[in-house]
Chains A and B, each alone.
Chain A
Amino acid sequence: MAHLALDNVHLQYPIFTDGGLSMRRALAGLLRQAYRPECKSVDALRGISIALDEGDRLGLIGPNGAGKSTLLRVCADIYLPTRGVVTRSGRISTLFDLYLGMDDEASGLENIRIAGLTLGFEETTIRAMTDEVAQFTELGEALFRPLRTFSTGMRVRLAFAIATAQLGGIVLIDEIIGVGDARFLQKASRRFAEALTDASIVVIASHAPQVLRDFCTKGAVMADGEIRYLGTIDDALAFYNGTLSP
Chain B
Amino acid sequence: MISHQLRAWLTLAWLDIRGRYRRTMFGPWWIVLTSGLMIGALAFVYSEIFRIPLREFLPFVALGIVIWNLISAVLVESTGVFTTNKHLFQNMQIKPEWVLARMLARNGIIFLHNAIVVVVLFAVLGHTPSWTEIALGFTGLMVLCGFITGVATIMAFLGARYRDLSQLVNAILPGAFLVTPVLWSENVLGNRRFIAEVNPLTHFVALVREPFLGHAASTLNWVVSLGLTVIALGIAVRVATSYRRRLIFWL
List residues of A whose CB falls within 8 A of some B CB: 13-14, 16, 21-24, 26, 73, 76-80, 92, 94, 96-97, 100-101, 103, 105-106, 110, 113-114, 117-122
Residues of A within 8 A of B19 (CB): 103, 105-106
* Contact status B91-A97, CB under 8 Å: yes
List residues of B whose CB falls within 8 A of some A CB: 4-5, 8-9, 11-12, 15, 19, 22-23, 87-93, 161-165, 168, 245, 248-250
Residues of A within 8 A of B162 (CB): 21-23, 26
* Contact status B93-A78, CB under 8 Å: yes
> With contacts A21-B161, A94-B92, A97-B91 known, is A114 near B12, CB below 8 A?
yes
* Contact status B87-A97, CB under 8 Å: yes
Most buried by A among B5, B19, B91, B165: B91
Most buried by A among B19, B23, B249, B250: B249
> What is the chain A residue whose CB lies nearest that of B163?
A21
Could you jot down 23 A-B contacts, CB within 8 Å? Answer: A16-B250, A23-B164, A73-B90, A76-B93, A78-B90, A78-B92, A78-B93, A78-B248, A94-B91, A94-B92, A96-B90, A97-B87, A100-B87, A100-B92, A101-B87, A103-B19, A106-B15, A113-B15, A114-B15, A117-B9, A117-B11, A117-B12, A119-B92
The 7 residue pairs across chains A and B that have the minimum distance between CB atoms = A80-B245, A117-B8, A23-B164, A96-B91, A97-B91, A21-B163, A23-B162
Residues of A within 8 A of B8 (CB): 117-118, 120-121
* Contact status B15-A110, CB under 8 Å: yes
Across the interface, B88 reaches (CB within 8 A) one of A73, A92, A100, A121, namely A100
> With contacts A79-B248, A100-B88 known, is A120 near B12, CB below 8 A?
no
Q: How far is the CA of A13 from the CA of B19 in the complex (A)?
A: 35
Across the interface, B165 reaches (CB within 8 A) one of A23, A114, A117, A119, namely A23
* Contact status A92-B250, CB under 8 Å: no
Q: How far is the CA of A103 from the CA of B88 in the complex (A)?
A: 13
Q: How far is the CA of A122 from the CA of B6 in the complex (A)?
A: 11
* Contact status B93-A92, CB under 8 Å: yes
> With contacts A13-B249, A21-B161, A22-B164 known, is A118 near B88, CB below 8 A?
yes
Measured between C-beta atoms, what is the minimum distance from B84 to chain A in Å?
Answer: 12
> What is the chain A residue whose CB lies nearest that of B15?
A114
Q: How far is the CA of A96 from the CA of B12 in the complex (A)?
A: 21
Most buried by B among A23, A26, A106: A23
Add 15 more A-B contacts to A23-B168, A113-B15 (CB < 8 A): A21-B163, A22-B162, A23-B164, A78-B92, A78-B93, A79-B248, A96-B91, A97-B91, A100-B88, A103-B19, A106-B19, A110-B15, A117-B15, A118-B12, A120-B5
